[in-house]
Structure 1
Amino acid sequence: MYTQHLILAALAVAASSPFSIAASTHQVPFLASPSASSSIPAGVGHFSEWSAATKAYFLEDIAKGNAANWTLVMGNEGGDLDSMASAFTWAYHLGHVDPSKPAIGLLQTPEDALDLRPENKLALENVKMSPGHQDLLTFDELPIPAAELAPLLRGIVLVDHPQPVADWENATILSIFDHHVDRDYAPHASPRIFLPTASCSTLVGRQMLNEVENLPEGEYHLPHELLELLLSAIAIDSKGLQSKVATPTDKFVASRLFRRSAWRDESMYDKMEDIADVLKDAKKDLDHLNVRDLLRRDWKGGIVETPEDKPDIHLGFASIPYSLSYQIGITPNQTTQNWFAIERNWTSEIHADATVALNSFKRYVGKDGEEVEEMWLGDEDEDEDEDEDELDEADVISPLKRKGRKIKERQIILVTRPDHRLSESLADSLFAHISEAIESSDVLNAKPWHGKATLGPRQMVWTHTVANGGRKLIRPIVDDAVEKWGL
């Protein structure tokens, strides 16, 4: 009955949409490239049918003033595969357990940024979602600004994120699922699950299966496409269940999901490793992205509260798997200040006051001493297994030892600007305060970038070789500096 209601709403609101809502039992293998799936019809399968219909129903109901009926399930603003799979899965589950309380997954990224993560695009195509993301609800499609919509909703569920960004702070927090550090937010949320697993999809999948298995048999259908989307997220986050980052919980939950999926007759570990390899290859297909795309691809930010005599700061972090030298080389003028002009244009659009871009890459030093750079997806992947040709911060990197090896390097780019909340003097003060926090960190031992002379006011670049020194390490240092600014 619930799905029929959604389909009727979809027909009424989106009759011109090209997706099909006909149910299908057609199954496809996990494909190795997006182009290979071009023959798959739009919106094939029960999960795509539900997602498209729910989106139409939501937009119709909000227009009627019925926001109080709805639960929004959302991940972090970086919009990785884990956040996306977790949000869609829990929204599907909630809407079927209690159809009187409809739920929808929300991607906290604009529609035009979705394909900046090619692994997401590939995973969606492989579970037969509509091309062009017609059946997904993105942040820029909300019919009411998020800050206005938040208090009108029944509530929100956070997945892969411990607390809401500023736009959603006035919403009722119903539940939280996260595999990171518990920040003690919304203590009365239920379920409220924090567990250090490789993937948040593991936690959502476990809770869903626990509840489904306590329902009367046949109470609702779990589409295999949804299960395979969850498994894909677990696979890429756990490196195919082969890595040390895969916890026993990841493996056990994956086995439960796998038994219900269309892959159940295959070897789970072989299949998960294959999926991880395919998605990892797709994730590295970034050579076509420009600097603006690279800044937006993995962006996380929000408002940081400061001491009472200072304005609160919109602080953002970008994670980029290329060096600054490479990025400068793909700017129109191939200059340092051309890169910062592009950065300023993008961050001004979103009214950011301070930006931290975290670059990670590997420098290969040949036997002849010639250096070659390559990308390194070293933030969320920072626990990747080492190979014998790589060095990290634990190694003594002498000129002799560098030859014939790959050295992991990182860069921190800091910019503050007086465009929005800050005066020139406050922007200078904030810049100096964050800079001092970075330079005084014994963990980082950050050094000025070799091109420091090309930098302008309130611009700084440091280098360091802490292999696990991505956003998870840098963000708390910068957040703490902003929170104590001027104290």
Structure 2
Amino acid sequence: MQFRLPLTVVVLATASAFAQVLQDQPHDQEKLIPDATTTLPPPINTGVGHFSQWSRENKRQFLIDWQQGRSSEWTLVQGNEGGDLDSMTAALTWAYHLQHSTQNTPNPIKAIALLQTPIDAIDLRPENKVALRNSLMRSGHSDLLTINELPEDPQTLARDIKGIVIVDHAVPLRKWSNAPILSIFDHHKDQGAGPDAKPRIFETVASCTTLVARQMLDELEALPEEYHLPHELLELILGAIAIDSSGLSDATEEDRKVAQRVLERSNWRKSKLEKKMEELDDDLGKAKKDIDDLGVRDLLRRDWKGDLVNTSSPDTHAVSLGFSSIPYSLEEQIAKTGFKELFDWFAIEAAWTAQVGADISVALNKYTVKSKHGKKKQKIREIVLCVRSDVRIDDDKADALFQTIKDAIEKDESLNAKPWHRVNELGRRQMAWTHDLEDAGRKVIRPIIEAAVAAWT
């Protein structure tokens, strides 16, 4: 009788063999065999810089240790889930420092940066793509560890790892609440998380990377012998500070001091600080605005920040609330949909929030219009609210929650929100407003809505 392996075993074995062949190829690019059923992705350029090579090997070691049951040896350095350049750079910088500053000690630290965005969302922020390319990282980002590459659910992994370091965020996401908080670096408001964390730094600066880089340099210079700081990492740090401080025009004195210290160690040491930071801001700023080709789904997810929020309801202890920040008006976004109609925008929004399991989604749009005289531009902001009933709450509760949030927004005198001009076309548990409070982005709107949700019964 002839023995046959199950099809899945054959496929896996073939795939494994094929992967090994690719790995053994002595080329600068990974070549893929064409498949008529798929669109061939662009070739992946191998990262040639020291920092890329370290990051890739570090990722490899983390996954090996996880597979061997040694997750408890690792510290995860993580930024916020928005995945901007500041958050990513701060996480990468501190992970590199933790490993290298302790490598010659009796208890070396294993640390890895975790980007809390999926790998295919990194390039939705074009400035990330440019900065990583300039720092000689791999084009396919296989030298970075992203949230969708974790081999275990965060809630489970959080119980096993040594702990987490939070950068560019004041509190960990709920799914990481089981992990000890070892350190915090943030340039926003202290919310009391991790009281025993060391270092625990909250300071008003333009870029969180400033705080991380300052601590890194202070500790580096105090070592008996300094470790190697790759120029690619130093240049990544300068880029993050530049774009967050508008080329130092919005910088604090601390941003300037740290940027100067970093510059003096980089390959740009002969450049003038102000000129180099302006150049970086121009380069990255142009890339940041290059998002006209993004569709509605990508616009919703490119800067998505969400988490569970506790409520006062005895039946529904927590709901999932998420925010997106989009630099287009709702009308402009509708024009990007396949049918170019209002219903299609809400269909895309519903598909996205269903995927991430959000009960409440809030799209914060911003755009500019010319004044009546055509000279001065006026900044306009929009709030688009949607509440679902198919995840944690039924129809009646969703209706009540929607009304609670709607009332909170409309009663806030500082916002002075006005109904969107097509409000009569909106469906159940959908609402949109406009307001002209220029600085009322997520940092202002989120606390208003979270307070309403927390008080909902």
Normalising by structure 1, report the TM-score: 0.84
Amino acid at match of 2:409: I
Q: For the residues of structure 1 that align with 2:20 and 2:255, how far apart are their CA atoms?
A: 39
Structure 2 residue aligned with 1:94, among 98, 101, 106? 98
Q: For the residues of structure 1 that align with 2:225 and 2:27, how far apart are their CA atoms?
A: 25
Q: Is 2:434 aligned against 1:444?
A: no
**Paired residue for 2:299?**
294
Q: Deviations 1:150-190 (Å, cap 9, x if unpaired)? A: 01000000000011001101101000000000001110000
Q: Deviations 1:342-395 (Å, cap 9, x if unpaired)? A: 000000011100000000000124xxxxxxxxxxxxxxxxxxxxxxxxxxxxxx
What SS does the corresponding residue of 2:324 show, helix, strand or coil? strand
Q: Is 2:134 aligned against 1:164?
A: no
Flag structure 2 segments of 5+ consecutive residues without an equivalent.
1-18, 29-41
**Paired residue for 2:32?**
none
Structure 1 residue aligned with 2:433, among 451, 459, 462? 462
Structure 1 residue aligned with 2:350, among 344, 350, 374? 344
Structure 2 residue aligned with 1:434, among 396, 402, 405? 405
Q: For the residues of structure 2 that align with 1:167 and 1:351, how far apart are their CA atoms?
A: 14
Cα distance 1:271–1:19, how it changes in 2: closer, same or farther (>3 A)?
farther
Cα distance 1:90–1:475, how it changes in 2: closer, same or farther (>3 A)?
same
**Paired residue for 1:191?**
199
RMSD of aligned residue pairs (Cα, Å): 1.9
- Count of aligned residue pairs for this structure pair: 421
Instruction: For residue 134 of structure 1, report the CA deviation from its aligned partner.
Output: 1.1
Q: Is 2:159 aligned against 1:154?
A: no
Q: Is 2:146 aligned against 1:175?
A: no
Cα distance 1:110–1:66, how it changes in 2: closer, same or farther (>3 A)?
same
Structure 2 residue aligned with 1:229, among 229, 232, 236? 236
Q: Is the 8 A contact 1:199 1:250 kept in 2?
A: yes
Normalising by structure 2, report the TM-score: 0.89
What SS does the corresponding residue of 1:56 show, helix, strand or coil? helix
**Paired residue for 2:266?**
261
What SS does the corresponding residue of 2:165 show, helix, strand or coil? strand
Q: Is 2:245 aligned against 1:238?
A: yes
Aligned ranges 1:330-341 → 2 under 5 Å: 330-341=336-347
Aligned ranges 1:260-279 → 2 under 5 Å: 260-279=265-284
Instruction: For residue 404 of structure 1, report the CA deviation from its aligned partner.
Output: 2.5
Q: Is the 8 A contact 2:92 2:113 kept in 1?
A: yes
Cα distance 1:325–1:423, how it changes in 2: closer, same or farther (>3 A)?
same
Instruction: For residue 403 of structure 1, report the CA deviation from its aligned partner.
Output: 3.2
Q: Deviations 1:41-85 (Å, cap 9, x if unpaired)? A: 521111011000000110111011000000000000000000000
Q: For the residues of structure 1 that align with 2:274 and 2:43, how far apart are their CA atoms?
A: 29
Cα distance 1:240–1:21, how it changes in 2: closer, same or farther (>3 A)?
farther
Structure 2 residue aligned with 1:326, among 321, 329, 332? 332
Q: Deviations 1:75-128 (Å, cap 9, x if unpaired)? A: 000000000000000000001122332100010001111110000000000000
**Paired residue for 2:31?**
none
Q: Is 2:211 aligned against 1:203?
A: yes
Q: For the residues of structure 1 that align with 2:79 and 2:24, how far apart are their CA atoms?
A: 27
Q: For the residues of structure 2 that align with 1:40 and 1:296, how far apart are their CA atoms?
A: 24
Aligned ranges 1:2-21 → 2 under 5 Å: 16-17=22-23
What SS does the corresponding residue of 2:140 show, helix, strand or coil? helix
Q: For the residues of structure 1 that align with 2:272 and 2:44, how far apart are their CA atoms?
A: 26
Q: For the residues of structure 2 that align with 1:473 and 1:281, how far apart are their CA atoms?
A: 27
Aligned ranges 1:330-479 → 2 under 5 Å: 330-365=336-371, 399=372, 402-479=373-450
Q: Is 2:84 aligned against 1:84?
A: no
Structure 1 segments (4+ residues) deviating >3 Å: 13-22, 38-41
Cα distance 1:20–1:290, how it changes in 2: closer, same or farther (>3 A)?
farther
Q: For the residues of structure 2 that align with 1:214 and 1:343, how far apart are their CA atoms?
A: 51
Q: Is the 8 A contact 2:56 2:143 kept in 1?
A: yes
